Amino acid sequence: MVAENIQNIRENIAKTCFRLGRDPQSVELIAVSKTFGSHHINEALASGIHDFGENYVQELLEKKAGLEGKNVRWHFIGHLQSNKIKYLIDWIYLIQSVDSESVAAEIQKRAQSADKTMNVLVEVNTSEEATKFGVKPNAALGLIKKIALYPNINLKGLMTIGPFTDTKDESRDAFKLLRTIFEEANRSGFLKGPMTILSMGMTHDYEIAIEEGSTMIRIGTAIFGSRTQQ
């Protein structure tokens, strides 16, 4: 089932990109494996997926241990507490959910001690839903500017979770807003180098996100099925 689901999503990405005149390779597919175990992850690996997203540090540490030696790049996409960063810093591929100065400062400190540069995205709460994490859109540039000054952080782009709605216009507005902030930051001259990743689009809205310029979609349900918890 997982293989078939991945095949369907790849076809949808290709169709959407074809319609837009975009290269399908310009959209990276991240499998969001939260609540699913190594059996599911191995199925996705067999279909050629190597990027996996997780929301909880403890769950991620357990899964990582069970998949040691496999060719997996782990993305952290959940709300990150400063005191958990030390568990991730040595091996996580991309932290997608940086939304405060304090989290960024802790990443800088830990990355410096580990003598490495950490790849991050800034998460923006584009729909301003109170239940969501992410920096507010009007504070995003300020945070991006501060993060750009940290020598051990490589700011690769922005991430957002679209609104929990079936109204396509609302999703589109949120993605347009993220792209506007992205372009503004890239034009600003205060980044070390241009950001390249726009991480937006989930099961219910990834085609709209691709239309609005997404370069990375994070898909859980459409790959692994619906989650019973969380």
Binding region for ligand PLP (CB under 6 A): 32, 34, 55, 77, 161, 202-204, 218-222
Q: Give the residue at shortest CB distance from ligand PLP.
A: 220
Least distance in angstroms from the C-beta of 78 to ligand PLP: 6
| 211 contacts 16 by C-beta, under 8 angstroms | yes
Residue 28 or 191: which CB sits closer to ligand PLP? 28
| 74 contacts 93 by C-beta, under 8 angstroms | yes
Question: In which residue are the tokens 């459409």 written?
Answer: 222
Amino acid at 135: V
Q: Give the closest residue to 126 by CA, choosing from 79, 194, 179, 76.
A: 179
Residue 137 or 220: which CB sits closer to ligand PLP? 220
Least distance in angstroms from the C-beta of 220 to ligand PLP: 3
In 3-state terms, what secondary structure has residue 199? strand
| 116 contacts 139 by C-beta, under 8 angstroms | no
Residue 100 or 203: which CB sits closer to ligand PLP? 203
Least distance in angstroms from the C-beta of 181 to ligand PLP: 17
Residue 54 or 211: which CB sits closer to ligand PLP? 54
Least distance in angstroms from the C-beta of 54 to ligand PLP: 9
Q: Kindly give, in sequence order, each residue whose CB lies less than 8 Å from that of residue 113, ignoring residues fewer than 6 positions away.
A: none
